[in-house]
Every structure is written in structure tokens, then in C-alpha cells.
Amino acid sequence: MKKHGILNSHISKVLSDMGHTDQLTIADCGLPITKNIEKIDLAIRIGEPDFISVLKAVINDMKVERIILAEEIKQHNPNLLEKIQSLFDSSIEIVFIDHEAFKSQTQITKAVIRTGEATPYANVILQSGVIF
């Protein structure tokens, strides 16, 4: 049994398979996920697990060089935006795109981790960095 890090075997495998610039989405329970993208569904009920808890666990195990957020989070969920930004240091590039473009971008990510989060625009795309 794994002693540290993410225990979910699906998330662990996706992270292990990622290379530089590959992307992974962490989403609220409402984000549409196309059939051709691996969906790792963690949602148990509304709010569980919450977005920030899942994001913290993933970034603890992943080298991130860039994050992508929907522009709309600034207006519709500024508290969550502040929490997200507090998790990353200034060397991490933060890119904002409109929500429709965000949904399109998720279609080329390695997987979408679906949380139980039910607040507006609680979605992020994490772009993998390189550890050397």
C-alpha cells in the first residue's frame, strides 16, 4: 500500500503518465466532460469532496508550471480565485480564458477529476512542468 501522496489509483496513474506541458483538469460537479476524456469521478454528493481539497492534494504530487482558469471566476467566484492563487507562488503562470474556451481546452487534457464542488467556475486546468 502507498504510504504517501495520492491514494486514488486513477489519479496516481494519470500523474505518473504526465509529461512536460501535459494538462489535467480539476472540475466542479457541473462541468461537461466529453466521452473521449478520462473522467475520474470523486463526487459523492454536493460539496463533497470540495474543489480546494482535491486541488491541494493534486498539486502536492504534481509539478505545475501554469494554470488556466475561466475569466468569469473573477466576477462570479472571487473568494475561490483568491484561495486558488494563494496555493501557487509567483513563478506559476496564471492564464484566464473565457468559459467556453475553457470547456474546449478540457477536451485535450489527459483527464478530468470531477469533484462535488457546486460553486460557479470552480474549475482549473493544471499544466505539467518538468522536475529537472
Q: How many domains does the chain have?
A: 1
Condensed to tens digits (0 to 9), the pLDDT of residues 82-118 reads 999 999 999 999 999 999 999 999 999 999 999 999 9
Within a domain: 1: no
76 is in an annotated binding site: no
Inform me whether the pLDDT recorded for 6 exceeds 80: yes
120: CATH: 3.40.1650.10
Domain that holds residue 81: 9-128
122 is in an annotated binding site: yes
Using CA atoms, how far apart are residues 74 and 34, in angstroms rounded to an integer? Answer: 26
Identify the pLDDT of residue 68: 98
Identify the pLDDT of residue 14: 98
Condensed to tens digits (0 to 9), the pLDDT of residues 37-73 reads 999 999 999 999 999 999 999 999 999 999 999 999 9
Identify the pLDDT of residue 12: 97
Within a domain: 4: no
Q: Do 109 and 2 meet the contact criterion of CB atoms below 8 Å apart?
A: no
Within a domain: 2: no
4 is in an annotated binding site: no
Please list, residue by residue across 72-99, b when 16 or more beta carbons sit within 10 angstroms of its beta carbon and e when fewer do. bbeeebeebbeebeeebeeebeeeebeb
The two beta strands, 64-70 and 124-128, are: antiparallel
Q: Annotated catalytic sites, by residue? A: 20
Q: Do 123 and 26 meet the contact criterion of CB atoms below 8 Å apart?
A: yes
Within a domain: 78: yes
Within a domain: 74: yes
